[in-house]
């Protein structure tokens, strides 16, 4: 269902977590609000026309005042779009249907995003990066392919283009740790094989065995990269995140 009501009880699940899969537009409205009744049908039509691509969640501010306060809703209708668990776009007040359509279209994945999400080959990932050189997801996947082939210099140059991406920085940390012979090769092999718990255990061992601040920081970056890939709901990530924090304090 692309249009649904949400409350304070299910907002995190149906909006914030759902927005990791598809964009979710949230309409903060009230029954007594004339502009809300004017805007509502345009929002619902836009969502239904993009079934499966964008969801529309409706929040009655009278019944969910804490939500309205949390998102600093000062006037209604207030519309906020969530992607990857954060607000990425918003507007307040009733706008024409054509502008509503453009607002929804702006949330749809770009050609580069669609290509990166479905890419099965190196050529497709390179094409995604041609379309969007800043697409970290495509860059990280391609970087991993290059590392698996032993093309370390090209992989390093590529991954260095994404200083804000935790996974890219973790892979770069792995290259630096290998260069320092820090004894974490088995950890990175486990990560590559998908055994994240074994990778974290080996990295923790290396962290506890080292008194070199630079090596410890590189290990931290690698562990944070694995936490990022596992996601916020991972029990393994939560357990090792607590242990990492204790080890660094």
Catalytic residues: 33, 36
CA distance 8 to 59: 9
Q: How far is CA 43 from the centre of its chain?
A: 25
Q: Residue 196: how many CB atoms within 10 A of its CB? A: 18
Q: Which stretches within the chain are classed as H helix?
A: 11, 34-49, 65-70, 97-105, 111-118, 122-131, 136-148, 152-159, 166-179, 185-192, 196-209, 213-230, 235-248
Nearest alpha-carbon partner for 5 in 49, 67, 50, 52: 67
What is the CA angle 219-222-113, rounded to 5? 165
CA distance 86 to 73: 16
């Amino acid at each position: 269902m692309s249009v649904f009501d949400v409350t304070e009880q299910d907002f995190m699940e149906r909006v914030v977590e759902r927005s990791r899969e598809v964009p979710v537009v949230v309409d903060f409205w009230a029954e007594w609000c004339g502009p809300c009744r004017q805007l509502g049908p345009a929002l619902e039509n836009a969502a239904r026309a993009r079934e499966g691509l964008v969801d529309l969640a409706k929040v009655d501010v009278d019944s969910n005042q804490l939500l309205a306060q949390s998102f600093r809703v000062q006037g209604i209708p207030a519309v906020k779009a969530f992607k990857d668990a954060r607000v990425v776009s918003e507007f307040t007040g009733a706008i024409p249907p054509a502008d509503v359509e453009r607002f929804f279209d702006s949330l749809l994945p770009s050609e580069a995003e669609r290509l990166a999400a479905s890419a099965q080959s190196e050529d497709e990932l390179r094409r995604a990066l041609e379309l969007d050189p800043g697409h970290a997801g495509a860059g990280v996947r391609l970087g991993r392919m290059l590392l698996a082939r032993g093309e370390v210099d090209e992989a390093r140059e590529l991954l260095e283009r994404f200083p804000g991406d935790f996974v890219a920085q973790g892979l770069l940390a792995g290259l630096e740790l290998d260069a320092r012979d820090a004894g974490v090769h088995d950890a990175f092999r486990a990560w590559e094989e998908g055994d994240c718990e074994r990778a974290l255990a080996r990295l923790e061992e290396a962290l506890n065995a080292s008194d070199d601040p630079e090596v410890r920081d590189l290990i931290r970056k690698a562990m944070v990269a694995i936490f990022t890939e596992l996601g916020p709901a991972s029990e393994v990530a939560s357990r090792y995140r607590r242990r990492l924090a204790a080890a660094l304090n």
